Amino acid sequence: MATSSFNPGELANLLKDFPILSREVHPGVSLAYLDSAATSQKPASVIDAMDEYYRRTNANIHRGIHMLAEEATAKYEDARQKVARFINAHSEREIIFTRNTTEAINLVAYTWARANLKNGDLVILTEMEHHSNLVPWQILASERGIRLEFIPVTDEGLLDLDAYQQLLAQEPRLVSFMHMSNVLGTINPASEIVRMAHAAGAVALVDGAQSVPHFPVDVQDLDADFLAFSAHKMLGPTGIGVLYGKEALLNAMPPFLGGGDMIKKVMLRSFSANSLPHKFEAGTPAIAEGIGLGAAVDYLTHTGMDRIAAYEHELTSYALDRLSEVSGLTVIGPRAELRGGVAAFTLADIHPHDVAQLLDREGLAVRAGHHCAMPLHQRFDLPATTRASFYLYNTRADIDRLASALERVKKLFG
Could you tell me the CATH number of the domain that includes residue 265? 3.40.640.10
* Residue 1 falls inside a structural domain: no
Count of CB atoms situated within 10 Å of the CB of 289: 24
Measured between alpha carbons, how far is 218 from 119 in angstroms, rounded to an integer? 34
Residue 154's pLDDT is 98
* Residue 308 falls inside a structural domain: yes
* Residue 230 falls inside a structural domain: yes
Residue 3's pLDDT is 62
Claim to verify: residue 388 and residue 290 sit in the same structural domain? no
Claim to verify: residue 187 and residue 244 sit in the same structural domain? yes
Could you tell me the CATH number of the domain that includes residue 376? 3.90.1150.10
* Residue 195 falls inside a structural domain: yes
Residue 63's pLDDT is 82
Among the candidates 302, 320, 345, a domain finishes at 302
Claim to verify: residue 211 and residue 73 sit in the same structural domain? yes
Active-site residue, 411 included = no
For 77-102, the pLDDT digits (tens) are 999 999 999 999 999 999 999 999 99
End-to-end CA distance of the chain: 48
Amino acid letter, 363: G
Residue 351's pLDDT is 97
Claim to verify: residue 161 and residue 97 sit in the same structural domain? yes
Amino acid letter, 89: A
Among the candidates 302, 320, 335, a domain finishes at 302
Among the candidates 277, 302, 327, a domain finishes at 302
Claim to verify: residue 256 and residue 111 sit in the same structural domain? yes
Claim to verify: residue 34 and residue 61 sit in the same structural domain? no
The partner residues of 98 in beta bridges, in order of sequence, read 241
Claim to verify: residue 274 and residue 379 sit in the same structural domain? no
Claim to verify: residue 254 and residue 318 sit in the same structural domain? no
Claim to verify: residue 274 and residue 214 sit in the same structural domain? yes
Contact 156, 334 (CB under 8 A): yes
**Cα-Cα-Cα-Cα dihedral sign, residues 124, 126, 127, 130:** negative
Claim to verify: residue 116 and residue 23 sit in the same structural domain? no
* Residue 2 falls inside a structural domain: no
> Exactly one of 68, 348, 372, 374 is catalytic; which is it?
372
For 252-301, the pLDDT digits (tens) are 999 999 999 999 999 999 999 999 999 999 999 999 999 999 999 999 99
Q: Which ranges of the chain have pLDDT less than 50? A: 1-2
* Residue 333 falls inside a structural domain: yes
Measured between alpha carbons, how far is 255 from 362 in angstroms, rounded to an integer? 49
Claim to verify: residue 170 and residue 261 sit in the same structural domain? yes
Residue 2's pLDDT is 47
Q: How far is CA 411 from CA 54, 404, 414, in A?
A: 50, 11, 5
* Residue 157 falls inside a structural domain: yes
Measured between alpha carbons, how far is 87 from 335 in angstroms, rounded to an integer? 27
Residue 1's pLDDT is 36
**Which domain, by its residues, includes 314?**
8-42+304-412
Residue 5's pLDDT is 84
Exposure class string for 124-160: b at 16+ Cβ within 10 A, else e: bbbbbbbebbbbbbeebeeeeebeebbbebeeebbbe
For 33-84, the pLDDT digits (tens) are 999 999 999 999 999 999 999 999 999 999 889 999 999 999 999 999 999 9
The partner residues of 272 in beta bridges, in order of sequence, read 265
* Residue 3 falls inside a structural domain: no
Claim to verify: residue 329 and residue 401 sit in the same structural domain? yes
- Our count of domains for the chain comes to 2
